[in-house]
Structure 1
Amino acid sequence: MMPTREKVLYHQIHPAKLAVDFSTSFASTWLGWQHELWTGLLVAFGPSVVVTMAMLRWMDFSKQRDSSFGHYVAFHMTPGATAVRSGGQLVMWMGAWLHLVWAIPAGFIVILLGWTYSLPSWYARQKP
């Protein structure tokens, strides 16, 4: 049985969770552009929380843990990396709300950096 702490870490890279997070990010950003605050917040957090709770309760993440991506996430996904990803989403939402088109791709780039900033040091550790 995988400990809850590991489940919380590895569920983030399950394809279903990535699909939910990507789609709700897109939809909530669009709703922010429309100034639909409460609907946007519900879309942003509701599905993600429900899917996370269900996944943590009923799924096994051994496949994710044992994958190359899982090894990278174990090395990389610190609270700081999670904060960077969340900050990027906030930039996207603020940009949408204020109709600052440039801020939406800028926030997306910050999210990508939150996922990838430690790739060079991780690759260096993988070499014999």
Structure 2
Amino acid sequence: MRLSDRVLVHQVHPVKISADVTASLASNILLWRAHPRAAAAVRVALPVAGSVAVLRLADLDALARTRRGRWVRSHMPASAQAVRLAGDALMAVGARRRSPSLLAVGALVIAAGWAHPWWPHRSTRRAPSCR
């Protein structure tokens, strides 16, 4: 499997998801309590460590053949990943400002990123030209 496919598939590995969720929760708590340096370290270090561990140790070829692996390969383009990242940033801002509503909006944006298959898509077919 190509590295780009491995990087995509590793996003649905349970260890990677756990690292991301744990980092977000811990970082948001630290931001809420006004510890921005510790929050930034946690928000970056845990997901990176999770990615390194999964990319080096997990059987991503087997994961790619599962329902989750097939789903992420066909429904998680870069645009959806960017939406998820933007949602995480909104959650961080919400935690820093102690705003439950911004935290909730960030969580909804992350959910929207995961819901990419249900986004409205433009047709790639061209309309017939009128000449």
Q: TM-score, normalised by structure 2?
A: 0.84
Whole-Å separation in 1 of the counterparts to 2:104 and 2:118: 21
Which letter maps to 1:19? Answer: S
Say whether 1:47 aligns with 2:46. yes
Which letter maps to 2:49? Answer: V
Residue aligning to 1:26: 25
Describe the superposition over 1:44-102 as per-residue Cα deviations: whole angstroms up to 9, x where unpaired: 11021122112212222123211222222111111111110000011111011111111
Residue aligning to 1:59: 58
Residue aligning to 1:115: 114
Whole-Å separation in 2 of the counterparts to 1:75 and 1:7: 13
Aligned residues with identical type, % of pairs:
31
User: Which deviates more from structure 2 when the two are superposed, residues 86-95 or residues 71-80?
Assistant: 71-80
Unpaired segments ≥5 residues, structure 1: 122-128
- 1:117 deviates by 2.8
- 1:120 deviates by 7.1
Whole-Å separation in 2 of the counterparts to 1:59 and 1:69: 15
User: Which deviates more from structure 2 when the two are superposed, residues 34-43 or residues 112-121?
Assistant: 112-121
Check the 8 A contact 1:31/1:39 in 2, yes or no.
yes
Residue aligning to 1:7: 6
Check the 8 A contact 1:4/1:56 in 2, yes or no.
no
Q: Secondary structure at the match of 1:7?
A: helix
Moved over 2 A (4+): none
Aligned residues: CA RMSD: 1.5
Number of corresponding residues? 120
* Larger gyration radius, structure 1 or structure 2: 2
Cα pair distance change 1:31/1:37, threshold 3 Å:
same
Cα pair distance change 1:24/1:33, threshold 3 Å:
same
